[in-house]
A = this chain, B = another copy of it.
């Protein structure tokens, strides 16, 4: 089986590593616009060889792991050129636009729209790790539009990599993921910005920061090339979540300003319930499937 991975960074590279381990006789080829990344991926052995996009018709499996704006252009081209038994999976963080763009494509049935909820704040081939997807949720959109045999092949792969499957329509996916992923990134980026700006005038401020700050701001290390297109494609859902977040912050600010500290306490106590939710996340990631 010939696997073409388009975009050989954190996401694509981690797929490559697990596939190589779990299906040793599969041949993993990498395609990337960034020639340095491609060379690096070959050198550290993530891929068997680099490949040209023009030879994609020989692929049995294509994994698309590039920024979501690039996917809108590249996915139709992939579907134009694949052979009829090829399975194409994407791994992007937005699904509505992508599903729309290939809606009427003659080879729509070769495509499975997926979003593995997995990642780290690092990027590039050197960030690729084994078991990134183990015990993680993988959201599949419009599964009914993928050929049944190709669905089966995809599920076999996802199962082997240890993923838990959830089915959603692309609209609901984009709306929900705005809350539990996209908003966290914005909150972290803006927290980082606020503190960095302050540091210009107040030296050594970071000398005082501890692990709590590090945890809250961690996602501000993420790749802007990945995230700007995500915010663009999910603009309206993100604006809604962001407005609610800003409103909640303003309300909390006003409680502090007006010395309503009993209410400040209550707001925090109600939110403490997030413990149960977070334990759920941790449990899921621990669970053997």
Among B117, B212, B215, B262, the residue within 8 A (CB) of A209 is: B117
Q: Which of B179, B189, B194 sits near A268, CB closer than 8 Å?
A: B189
A211 touches B242 (CB 8 A): no
Contact B274 A192 (CB under 8 A): yes
We find that the number of chain A residues with CB closer than 8 angstroms to chain B is 95
**Interface residue A148 (Cβ < 8 Å from any Cβ of B):** no
Contact partner of A214 among B183, B189, B207, B278, CB < 8 A? Answer: B278
Q: Which residues of B contact A278 (CB under 8 A)?
A: 214, 217-218, 221
- In the assembled complex, the CB of A285 is this many whole angstroms from the nearest CB of chain B, namely 7
A216-B214 contact, Cβ under 8 Å, with A202-B175, A244-B197, A249-B249: no
Interface positions, chain A 162-196, Cβ under 8 Å from B, are 166, 172, 175-177, 179-181, 183-196
A219 is an interface residue with CB less than 8 A from chain B: yes
Chain B residues positioned under 8 Å from A264 (CB to CB): 228, 231-232
Contact across chains for A187 and B189 when beta carbons are under 8 A apart = no
* A-to-B contact residues, CB < 8 Å: 117-119, 121, 136-137, 139, 166, 172, 175-177, 179-181, 183-198, 202, 205-222, 224-225, 227-229, 231-232, 235, 238-239, 241-246, 248-250, 252-253, 256-257, 259, 261-262, 264-275, 277-278, 280-282, 284-285
